[in-house]
């Protein structure tokens, strides 16, 4: 059975108990995902409505920007592990079975937005575009093994703690090529660690951007990772990289992709506040008609 949950993109808006009530009453979602903005003074109010049975939580998204599992600095990696453990503890307190991790970024110069700009200006797959992309891949692969080892060392600590709380960790695919892990790195991490508490979290929008920029084939990637998938962030994407769109309004081929994930996969609507309740509910209804409950 498919569960429907929602996360509210809070890059510009703080998620508190009032907003959580609004999401439930206006949108009717039974489960809600919290993101990394939830900390400190917001937690008591959220705990209060949770303890009162007003809200249930599906998952918690971590880590805050600036935390980096792949950092060369030991101190920076330790800080990332600490934040992840704190997220696991909060998820356990709120009976949320999943914590979704962002693992950080490399030190390479940003390439993604330059490629997006070239695509928009008519330079998609031009010689300059291809040279820039190949150069970025070669630069990144130069220290891939060391970076992978650092991420693995951090994850071992996080998974050990997650196991004590019966929390599952989902490693999310990333939108930008300079972020970690890449698809290859992510696959290797899951294969080598082989933990029942570690799996994959798929963001349809992120992978569509990667496909649009010619880094991956979206369907082939999800076909490879499908059975390891704990859940998905559901958003559409208008070519080349306008994410945050409601399903069925962009270029993501959901009819082709959704059957590639397990039937018990958790689908989390990833929304910005500029989407109205009516349009969100309409997208959910279309989803149920095409894919069932």
CB 100 within 8 A of CB 172: yes
What is the pLDDT of the chain when averaged over all its residues? 90
pLDDT at 11 > cutoff 50: no
Which residues make beta-bridge pairs with 62?
A: 101
- Contact between 228 and 199 (Cβ < 8 Å): yes
**Average pLDDT, integer, range 154-159:** 96
Quote the CATH superfamily of domain 3-108+145-291: Divalent-metal-dependent TIM barrel enzymes (3.20.20.150)
For residue 60, give the nearest of 39, 29, 81, 30 by alpha carbon: 39
Token pair in block for residue 183: 């698809």
> What pLDDT does residue 45 have?
84
pLDDT score of 2 = 55
Tokens of 43: 């937690």
Q: What pLDDT band is residue 103 in, cutting at 50, 70 and 90?
A: very high
Domain ranges of the chain: 3-108+145-291
The confidence score (pLDDT) of residue 273 equals 72
Query: DSSP characters for 39-99?
Result: -TTHHHHHHHHHHTTS-EEEEEEE--TT--TT-S-HHHHHHHHHHHHHHHHHHHHTT--EE
């Amino acid at each position: 059975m498919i569960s429907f949950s929602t996360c509210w993109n809070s890059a510009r808006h703080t998620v508190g108990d009032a907003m959580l009530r609004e999401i439930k009453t206006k949108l009717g979602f039974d489960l809600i995902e919290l993101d990394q903005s939830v900390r400190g003074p917001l937690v008591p109010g959220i705990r209060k409505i949770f303890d009162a049975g007003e809200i249930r939580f599906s998952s918690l998204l971590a880590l805050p920007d600036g935390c980096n599992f792949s950092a060369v600095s030991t101190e920076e990696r330790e800080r990332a592990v600490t934040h992840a453990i704190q997220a696991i503890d909060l998820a356990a307190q709120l009976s949320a079975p999943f914590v979704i991790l962002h693992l950080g970024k490399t030190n390479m110069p940003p390439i993604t937005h330059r490629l997006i700009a070239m695509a928009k200006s008519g330079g998609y797959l031009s010689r300059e575009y291809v040279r820039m992309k190949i150069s970025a891949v070669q630069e990144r692969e130069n220290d891939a093994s060391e970076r992978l080892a650092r991420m693995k060392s951090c994850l071992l600590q996080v998974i050990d703690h997650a196991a004590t709380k019966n929390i599952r960790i989902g490693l999310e695919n990333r939108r930008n090529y300079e972020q970690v892990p890449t698809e290859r790195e992510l696959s290797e991490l899951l294969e080598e660690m082989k933990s029942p508490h570690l799996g994959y979290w798929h963001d349809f929008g992120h992978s569509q951007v990667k496909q649009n920029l010619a880094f991956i084939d979206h369907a082939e990637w999800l076909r490879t990772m499908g059975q390891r998938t704990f859940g998905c962030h559901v958003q559409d994407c208008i070519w080349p990289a306008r994410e945050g769109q409601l399903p069925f309004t962009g270029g993501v081929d959901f009819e082709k992709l959704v059957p590639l994930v397990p039937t018990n996969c958790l689908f989390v609507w990833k929304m910005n506040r500029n989407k109205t309740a009516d349009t969100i509910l309409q997208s959910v209804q279309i989803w149920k008609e095409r894919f069932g409950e």
